[in-house]
Structure 1
Amino acid sequence: MAASRARRLWLDVHLYVGLVLGGLFALLGLTGSVLVFYLGVDEALNPALQVSRPVIEAPSPDAVLSRVQAVYPEHDGPWRIEMPLDANDALRVRYYNPPETAGRGFAPLMLSLDPDSLQVTSGRLWGDYAVTWLYDLHYTLLLGSAGKTAVGIAGLVLLVSLFSGLYLWWPSRARLGAALKPVLRRGVVRKTYDLHVLSGVYGFVVLAVLALTGSVLALPDEARSVVDRFSPLRPSFRAPAGLLEEGATPIPLAEAVRIAQARFPGAELRWIETPGRAGKPISVRFHQAAEPGRRFPRSQVWVHPASGDILAVRDPLENSGGDTFMDWMHPLHNGEVFGLAGRLLACLGGLLPTLAFATGWLRWRHKVRARKASTRSLARAPSIT
């Protein structure tokens, strides 16, 4: 009796979560599938972003800074330079908090430069072009911090739906092998059920990882608070301002990179952030081979913009378990940690909520119609007196 009540409870949970939030899960999954390859999608939509010819040697960061400052002289804050990922990749530069988007939250100025000529091929504001609008839809539902919170909660609810579905499906040990066979039975009703079940069972691990990592990324403060209880997290370095006297010239970026590189010899240079008018440290970020994410690695050195002294270092290879867990969230979410195969898996995983929602809704409609037909049949049956 207790088992029957528990099954009824989880059946209701699975049904109503799917009916109420299934469309949202599908939206998040579809947008996520596109965003797995969003740099390539952006280049396909905007051919001007493609480089003129492969570049073997990355350009000097000082030359890059001089070029963007010449094009945008009124932007005297910090610039963040992202080095190309390969010889055919564009050079990307960001300017956070531009005056054009004041009050819009996260909406930096995004530049693309040809790494050979250093010509600015694109200057766009975050959220004003397709892939960044799609990113905001996926991450915040275009509702700012409230939407971001909703997305994080939705990921946790999706986990509940996944586990409830697995519980409802789980067969006896004798039937497990047969239940796992990827066979679609004949008939619309049975085929719909099989598609719903098999997509959930075979995609369970991928969907659970996407849901968990998505929730952590959408609710970072809450996640850090929970993780810190089990494995203390390293405090973030708070970069001081005012390190440059007014009118003073900071050390060249190339010199800052050389100083920082000595801390991570052999690591790949990925990002450089300039001091700006506030006189903050020069931040240099590298990718070490053991790190899960190459585009947004966590190996970081903060260099004094005047003296060249190292102010702080973050080495993810010396992380606590909690820090390592947090560092893996983004590269797991987009599949980057497993290379192209991982990205393809994440992309396909993003399609599964739509399939599950569609087949689950059809399955529910089949049951409703069958119930109504049964009621009408009983109503027409002659009474026995």
Structure 2
Amino acid sequence: MPQRKASLRGALVIAHRLAGLTLAAFLVVAGMTGSLLVWNTELDAALNPHWLRTTGSYTSAQPMDALALRDVVQARHPQALAMRVPLAQEPGHAMVFLLRPLPGTGALENDQVFVDPYSGRILGERRWGDIGQTWRNLMPFIYRLHYSLAWGAVGTWLLGLVSLLWMIDSVVGFCLTLPATSNNAQRPWLGRWARAWKLDLHNRWRATFDLHRAGGLWLWPALFVLAWSSFALNLPQWHDPMVRAFGTQQPATTDLPRRAKPLWQPALDWKAAHLQARQLMQEQAALRGFAVQAESSLAYDPSRGQYRYDVRSSLDIKDRGGSTRLFLDGDTGVLVATWWPTGAAGGDTFITWMSNLHMASVGGMAYRLAITLVGAGVTVLSVTGVLIWLRKRSAKRKQ
């Protein structure tokens, strides 16, 4: 039996080493970019204050109607569709509109427009995520790196697989910190395990090893949540069926049927759709017993011919914004589908919590600071793991 346990532990060591070396570069990128993205809004505004911040001269005035601001953007870009209207206005912040090219017009030079909500003045434009526009797009590019390595769908798949391997390797690494059982051990098992949680800085080699082992233990719950949520976000087509084995999920809104031909000019204009969406949301709130707290956005999808209306409600858990959502037909205004972040299905409530914990959009400033440190910790664990492997390889070569 002791030999079998020793061989199992040896196999786990090899598996942890191979997985760590495979994941190291990916996790360094994910950890560093993730630490920055916790402060995405603030950093983007610091880099582009002339776009994302409004002047103080309008603080005493009322902002313009969001749909009127959309008309300004649409008139400025007749070759595009202003596809999303932000309905929540934060004082001192610009309104951000997204553009989509109309058929036959070719690629847009810019697809994100910043507007002063008090004057309707266009503050600036950029092509989201295009690092060729230099520092103007630094934070969107960092987001692309974090989510897909800036490789599009291929990068999203790759990081999803990395996240799955990371989640499994986190369990293996935790098991390797546990002391081996022995009939001849002089100290209690818990007493021997306590050494794994401590950091010795007197010796450089020992400090590197302890940073890797103790750091992984102290950060383990957060690391496992980040690995799991990364897998859920990047590969929902694999993750969600696993969730449905243990809980229920609402019908996926990504599966809503597409039209044979996109509907670019629906019978309901934006104002009529907004009024209808408000009424439908109030009816749903009364029917299901939740409270609508604030509007979030109204968007239109020509491929489905549907408007999407998001609000913040008592079903939301995030600190800002909302994802309580319904869809209505662009021609008839009939309710097509709904999606509730919590309370409707256990599987969706679980995924909502996991994704918001990953994005540090719950828990306020304290949790954001914690996730920033965890992101840095991911980088430290990856680097120390490689250093440990290099030292051991060098020692074997000398022998």
- TM-score range normalised by the length of the shorter chain: 0.7 to 0.9
> Structure 1 170/246 Cα, relative in aligned 2: closer, same or farther at 3 Å?
closer
Q: Partner residue of 1:80?
A: 84
Q: Percent identity?
A: 25
Whether the 8 Å CA contact 2:343–2:349 is kept in 1: the answer is: no
Aligned counterpart in structure 1 of residue 142 of structure 2, from 134, 144, 148: 134
Whether the 8 Å CA contact 1:127–1:133 is kept in 2: the answer is: yes
Whether the 8 Å CA contact 1:240–1:281 is kept in 2: the answer is: no
> Structure 1 290/262 Cα, relative in aligned 2: closer, same or farther at 3 Å?
closer
Q: Partner residue of 1:382?
A: none
Q: Shift of residue 356 of structure 1?
A: 1.0
Opposite residue 89 of structure 1, the aligned amino acid is H
| Whole-Å separation in 2 of the counterparts to 1:247 and 1:202 | 55
TM-score by length of 1: 0.84
| Whole-Å separation in 1 of the counterparts to 2:112 and 2:156 | 22
> Structure 1 97/230 Cα, relative in aligned 2: closer, same or farther at 3 Å?
farther
| Secondary structure of residue in 2 paired with 1:41 | helix
> Structure 1 274/370 Cα, relative in aligned 2: closer, same or farther at 3 Å?
closer
Moved more, 249-258 or 238-247: 238-247
Q: Shift of residue 123 of structure 1?
A: 1.6
Moved more, 346-355 or 325-334: 325-334
Q: Partner residue of 1:342?
A: 367
Aligned counterpart in structure 2 of residue 287 of structure 1, from 303, 312, 324: 312
Opposite residue 190 of structure 2, the aligned amino acid is R
1:217 aligns with 2:233: yes
| Whole-Å separation in 2 of the counterparts to 1:359 and 1:32 | 19
Q: Partner residue of 2:192?
A: 175
Opposite residue 191 of structure 2, the aligned amino acid is A
1:44 aligns with 2:46: yes
Opposite residue 39 of structure 1, the aligned amino acid is T
Q: Partner residue of 1:150?
A: 158
Q: Partner residue of 1:229?
A: 245
Q: Partner residue of 2:93?
A: 89
Whether the 8 Å CA contact 2:317–2:362 is kept in 1: the answer is: yes
| Whole-Å separation in 1 of the counterparts to 2:266 and 2:243 | 44
Q: Shift of residue 58 of structure 1?
A: 5.4
| Secondary structure of residue in 1 paired with 2:11 | helix
Opposite residue 148 of structure 1, the aligned amino acid is T
| Whole-Å separation in 2 of the counterparts to 1:29 and 1:275 | 34
Q: Partner residue of 1:269?
A: 295
| Whole-Å separation in 1 of the counterparts to 2:361 and 2:266 | 43
Question: Which structure 2 segments of 5+ residues have no match?
Answer: 131-136, 180-188, 286-290
> Structure 1 156/219 Cα, relative in aligned 2: closer, same or farther at 3 Å?
same
Moved more, 6-15 or 335-344: 335-344
Moved more, 197-206 or 51-60: 51-60
> Structure 1 96/32 Cα, relative in aligned 2: closer, same or farther at 3 Å?
farther
Whether the 8 Å CA contact 2:69–2:120 is kept in 1: the answer is: yes
Whether the 8 Å CA contact 1:101–1:108 is kept in 2: the answer is: no
> Structure 1 312/354 Cα, relative in aligned 2: closer, same or farther at 3 Å?
closer
> Structure 1 310/56 Cα, relative in aligned 2: closer, same or farther at 3 Å?
farther
| Whole-Å separation in 1 of the counterparts to 2:270 and 2:118 | 24
Q: For 1:167-193, what per-residue CA distance to the aligned partner results, in whole angstroms no more than 9, with x for missing partners?
A: 111232123344434x32411111111
Opposite residue 70 of structure 2, the aligned amino acid is L
1:112 aligns with 2:114: yes
Q: Shift of residue 216 of structure 1?
A: 1.0
| Secondary structure of residue in 2 paired with 1:292 | coil
| Secondary structure of residue in 1 paired with 2:45 | helix
Q: How is 1:251-266 mapped onto 2 (pairs within 5 angstroms)? A: 252=271, 254-256=274-276, 258-263=278-283, 264=285, 265-266=291-292
| Whole-Å separation in 2 of the counterparts to 1:88 and 1:29 | 31
Whether the 8 Å CA contact 1:36–1:334 is kept in 2: the answer is: yes
Opposite residue 255 of structure 1, the aligned amino acid is L
The root-mean-square deviation of aligned C-alpha atoms, in Å, is 3.2
Question: Which structure 1 segments of 5+ residues have no match?
Answer: 376-385
1:371 aligns with 2:396: yes
Q: Partner residue of 2:269?
A: 250
Q: Shift of residue 52 of structure 1?
A: 1.4
Q: Shift of residue 257 of structure 1?
A: 5.2
